[in-house]
Structure 1
Amino acid sequence: MAAEGPAARSDSEVIEHVTVLPMTAAGPVLRDRTVVVRDGRIEKIAPSAGFHGAGGAPRIDGRGKYLMPALADMHVHMENDDILAKMMGGHVPPGLLNTADLTLPYVANGVLQVFNLSASPAGKAQRDDIESGKVLGPHIALAVMVDGDPPIQGPLATVAATPVEGRRIVDQILDGGYDALKTYSNLTFDTFSAMVDEARARHLKVLGHIPLRGKDRTAELFQPGYGMVAHAEEFAYQTPQVSVDAIPRFTDLAKARGVWLITTVSLNQRIVDQTESVDALKGRPEMRYVNPLTYQTWTTRNSYAASKDKLGRRQAVVNFNAKLVPAFQAAGVPMVVGTDSLVSGMVPGFALHDELEALAKLGLPSKAILADATRVPAQYLGVASDRGTLEAGKRADLLLLDADPLKDVANTRRIAAVIVGGKVYPRAELDGMMEALALRYAAMPKQMATLGVKLGGHFAPEDDDN
């Protein structure tokens, strides 16, 4: 049975004597507040002293706790039968995996908004099941991956070999009900330019990889309509050799052209770790919550571990990111937090907390990091009127913490409860749901053998110097 949690929950909740972190641009920390949630929305935030409202609604004691908006991961690849079969070069029987199991780790980690950057019809179905209330999971924004010919991620990408094809694909993305276009590394300059131009005219967001790696044509590629780079490492690959000396130029360019950045810095360190030894993954406790198909690929057909000759360049990218991201933050270049979950070692939900801590280690202020994982993603996605900050009238997608994340972003792991559309999931309940998930996954290899599941090849790394 899928881990969806109890169906019957109160339509209203009162969280008393809690410290509120609104995450608004100028809003201060609000201490000793009572927050009323009704019908999935934040109805009121009021001083606790003298508060008498909300009738007989269930009450949560928030003393010593911190209430903030739920987190967003702005670079993921959502698992489903279709994408896993394509990634792994094999056959995954329909129904072997289910959305509720695949999205539970996000919910349990307080990640209630994700941006799927390899969207497909199966991904649209997952989004719709969640929004209809059929499945417990995060809100999902969808971007279609478009690459040149030949595509690096062949099964996952739509191919645009000419400018005419590129413009037609923009129309298909819009007609298909997707939210954005993701550019990939093998696009030609003319095709990339045609897509960006068409998307701008049609008001479709464009983000992704910067094509023409090593050619240093970044200034030409940062055209009106190209809005966000999918990784910090993309800048490292623009020059023939990784060069920290180019960072001031890239910083000025991104600032001047209004181009945003998705961070994904923890990914590159995880790649270095796997290049040195795949055993770096096996000891991580969150691996219990990775489905066996993905775990098998990560550990037995790991393409990073199979290419140790690239270790030096991969470490150079880690060092580059450590200087680029603080430079962007200091210059005021808008950034959002992302992980590239589903690339080897990046476990959904858990990886977001790894990324927050990695950014803190680079010296970014906690308040800025948390904004880049809450308010700023909502602004980019155009949903800021609905969520991303803790204000009256907003959707009650919230995170109740046992410690102050403004003092240490690692405290985002200290989750007392996750509130999903006004429904409260206490820590103990989430732990029980996750344990049940781990047991289901532990039993799956036998089921896979019975069904004759066979996989070949490996998931070629999305983010590397291919």
Structure 2
Amino acid sequence: MLPLKILISLCGYVSTIQACSLHDIAPVPSSDLARRSLLPGKKLPTVIKNVRIFDGWRMTDPQDVSFHGEIISPGSIRPEEPEVTVDGTGKFLIPGLIDSHLHISKVSDLELLASYGVTTGVHMSCQSYEACHTFRNQTDLTSIIFAGTAFTGAGNSSSNLPQTGVPFPDLDEATIIANVFNNGSDVFKVAINDDGPTQDVLNGLIHEVHKRGRQAMTHATTREAFAWAVAAKTDGLQHMAADGPLSRCIIDRMLKDRQFVTPTMNIFKQAFANPLILNFLRPNGAGNITYEAVVSNVRLLHEAGVPLLAGTDAVGVVTSTISVPFGSTLHWELQNLGVAGLSPLECLRAATIVPALHHRLEDRGAIEYGKRADLVLLNSNPLDDIVNTMDISRVWIAGFEFQEIGGKSE
């Protein structure tokens, strides 16, 4: 690997700014667990009439969609029930969008995500289990699943078991994994950096995760880290190799083991465009890495058929000069994927049905009977131009209509 950590998650430097070792997490301020807006979501029987539907696979001819409660209903709502009727003529209904890699720190972050039609987020390193459970229980805001606190090499300040303060190697792999899932985590995350973990430790951790029938996500930003993660049979690789082209051997192994990648092109693009971010992430220099290598590797994986998921590494406002906002960045990521060769159809699938399948979220990602009523009504066809995902008319989350659209309240 390169001698320095490459583009580690911005979550890591948030902790640096706070001068707070992740082994000793400070209590979460109550203000971070409070809603910014007092506007409640409205949950009413609803029919959207004469709307074209992207059902997760294709755009249909105009038809009606109804839901009462959080589930999309078969047929029409009973006439005796109160009903909201939405005229969908000339509009386009898509499943709620899924950001497969972000870092939530406040409930108000969920409100921003919802305002941009992001109805599910994968929080990729829980720093406070109390806070993460609070985030997950906001029924009318963006739905969150979360990874336990990321395991890294023994010398890294953001490693291992912050809830107990006992670092590896004092505990074995089974105890570490038990700690993560017994605290309610949905997935396990491990980060490969210059200080480890070793291939053997990585293999043992991921094997222990799979023994439980759960999934492992692995942070990897170099070709060597990708090779280690692939060899360990991780489920999902987070980020992208930025130091040169991935080998055909690695790509073939990924296909064989049905691994997927969330490339987070957004954070690489922002880092290479903003020296403040790049210097924060790589204080001793950028080394032999380029954004062009990121784009090229995404293109290689796409052409080979490796599943790609849209994720942003969003953290919100970090300083007065550094911000990776929630919501809007997912739309930017879809555009980034388009630059790497994905069609608008494939880009949209990367934020709907594909992450739903790979994150085992069987109740969402598509518009069909029995799925969650996570819906985004657009004024323009996203299959004509993926930028049209930002042309939002209305948003529903599990049947609740979110009232503030497009970040207008920011």
Per the shorter chain, which TM-score range? Answer: 0.7 to 0.9
Is the partner of 1:232 in helix, strand or coil?
Answer: coil
Q: Residue type of the partner of 1:243? A: G
Q: How does 1:369-408 map to 2 (within 5 A)?
A: 369-384=347-362, 386-408=363-385
> Cα distance, 1:366 vs. partner?
1.1
> Cα distance, 1:45 vs. partner?
6.0
Unmatched segments (≥5 aa) in structure 2 = 1-33
Cα 1:410/1:175, change in 2 over 3 Å: same
Give the match for residue 113 of structure 2: 106
| 1-structure distance, mates of 2:66, 2:170 | 53
Query: Is 2:356 the partner of 1:351?
Result: no
Q: How does 1:41-440 map to 2 (within 5 A)?
A: 41-44=71-74, 56-80=82-106, 99=107, 101-119=108-126, 120-130=128-138, 133=139, 136-144=140-148, 145-151=150-156, 153=158, 161-162=168-169, 164-185=171-192, 186-210=196-220, 216=224, 218-219=226-227, 221-223=229-231, 225-233=233-241, 236=242, 242-244=243-245, 246-275=246-275, 278=276, 304=279, 310-311=285-286, 313-314=288-289, 316=290, 318-342=291-315, 344-384=322-362, 386-425=363-402, 429-430=404-405, 434-435=408-409, 438=410
| 1-structure distance, mates of 2:120, 2:36 | 19
Q: Residue type of the partner of 1:421? A: A
On the 8 A contact 2:272/2:278 being kept in 1, the answer is: no
Q: Which TM-score applies when normalising by structure 1? A: 0.71
Unmatched segments (≥5 aa) in structure 1 = 81-98, 237-241, 279-301, 439-466
Q: CA deviation digits over 1:62-90, x for unaligned, max 9?
A: 1111001010011111114xxxxxxxxxx
Is the partner of 2:151 in helix, strand or coil?
Answer: strand
> Cα distance, 1:306 vs. partner?
8.8
Q: Residue type of the partner of 1:140? A: I
Give the match for residue 459 of structure 1: none
Is the partner of 2:324 in helix, strand or coil?
Answer: coil
| 1-structure distance, mates of 2:382, 2:232 | 36
Larger-Rg structure = 1
> Cα distance, 1:260 vs. partner?
0.9
| 1-structure distance, mates of 2:41, 2:99 | 28
Query: Is 2:12 the partner of 1:7?
Result: no
Give the match for residue 284 of structure 1: none
> Cα distance, 1:159 vs. partner?
7.0
Cα 1:375/1:54, change in 2 over 3 Å: farther
Cα 1:13/1:188, change in 2 over 3 Å: same
Q: Which TM-score applies when normalising by structure 2? A: 0.80
| 1-structure distance, mates of 2:73, 2:116 | 24
| 2-structure distance, mates of 1:159, 1:361 | 44
Give the match for residue 15 of structure 2: none
Cα 1:180/1:393, change in 2 over 3 Å: same
Is the partner of 2:74 in helix, strand or coil?
Answer: strand
RMSD of aligned Cα (Å) = 2.9
| 2-structure distance, mates of 1:11, 1:112 | 18
* Count of aligned pairs between the two proteins: 365
Q: CA deviation digits over 1:122-181, x for unaligned, max 9?
A: 343323431xx3xx4211111121112111535996875339533211011121111111
| 1-structure distance, mates of 2:365, 2:124 | 20
Cα 1:425/1:175, change in 2 over 3 Å: closer
